[in-house]
Amino acid sequence: MTTTVPGPRPCPDPAGWLAAAAARWHAAGDLVSAVRAVVTDTAGLLAEGATVSVTLLAAGRRPRDPVASDAAAASLDTLQVGSGEGPLVAALAGTPDGSPDLAHDPRWPCFTGHAAAAGVRAVTCLPLDTGREVVGALSVYGPGPGAPADPAALAPVAGHAALALRAVQRIEHLTTAVASRDVIGQAKGVLMERYRITSDAAFGILVRASQDTHRKVRDVAALVTETGEAPGTAGYADVDR
């Protein structure tokens, strides 16, 4: 018995839709909001029953927790990352992959079994490739045989999403770096005043406290600005000035 799956929802102006969607993604206030917008907007294009997930790569190419349009899609992303099996693994490495009918695809037995239990029959996974780096992968899961999304139509979505997410990520990193620099500068000022020491000596205290307490220098600096001294600074009164 052939299962029929509704076609994609009509998009009267694909170029206009993508331009508007990309603008929303770039304007997101933070990375989590941007990823959720990508997932929500992409899901709105798909056939009924199809779901979307995005798994980004963190520092060291370590996959983050997925953001998905439903729990089953998130679970399938997590399963593939944990087992090292499935089309998502290839997509995170930069190669598009998927299957129009998992029931007749022997490549990923573990993934296929879990997908069937979740009511998923087909999958398309595309790298989120900026042209210079892969920042993650976009996955679309479908309930019936047949590609849940046309890879050719989905590729521009993935490309614009990759650029938007990387841009938001860079802004986040820059904002964090500026905030860290400011709080470290404030903490150095506190220590310089308290111990009558140089800027370099004050920074040395922050670094040593960071190493001794296994905290980031920024976190130690924040504590200094709140309390007036770094953790374990009782012995710093004789620090080189």
- Cα torsion 45, 50, 51, 55: sign: negative
The ranges assigned to domains in the chain are 21-166, 173-233
pLDDT in tens, 1-41: 333 334 445 455 778 899 999 999 999 999 999 999 999 99
The three-class DSSP label of residue 45 is: coil
According to the CATH classification, is domain 173-233 in 1.10.10.10? Answer: yes
DSSP structure string for 68-115: ESSHHHHHHHHHHHHHT-SHHHHHHTT--EEES-GGG-TT-HHHHHHH
Per-residue pLDDT at 240 exceeds 70: no
Higher-scoring residue by pLDDT: 205, 149: 205
pLDDT in tens, 179-214: 788 888 888 888 988 888 998 888 888 888 888 888
Residue 6, pLDDT score: 41
CA angle (67 as vertex; 65, 71 as ends), nearest 5: 95
Look up the CATH number of domain 21-166.
Answer: 3.30.450.40
Higher-scoring residue by pLDDT: 189, 88: 88
In this structure, how many other beta carbons lie within 10 angstroms of the beta carbon of residue 80?
29
Amino acid at 165: L
pLDDT in tens, 105-120: 999 999 999 999 999 9
Across 224-241, average pLDDT:
65
pLDDT in tens, 120-139: 999 999 999 999 999 999 99
Residue 57: name the closest of 69, 66, 68, 44 by CA. Answer: 66
Higher-scoring residue by pLDDT: 77, 238: 77
Residue 156, pLDDT score: 95
Residue 2, pLDDT score: 30
Residue 47, pLDDT score: 86
In this structure, how many other beta carbons lie within 10 angstroms of the beta carbon of residue 85?
16
* CA pair distance 162, 157, nearest whole angstrom: 9
Residue 177, pLDDT score: 74
- Give whichever of 101-105, 201-205, 218-222 has the largest mean pLDDT: 101-105
Across 148-153, average pLDDT:
83
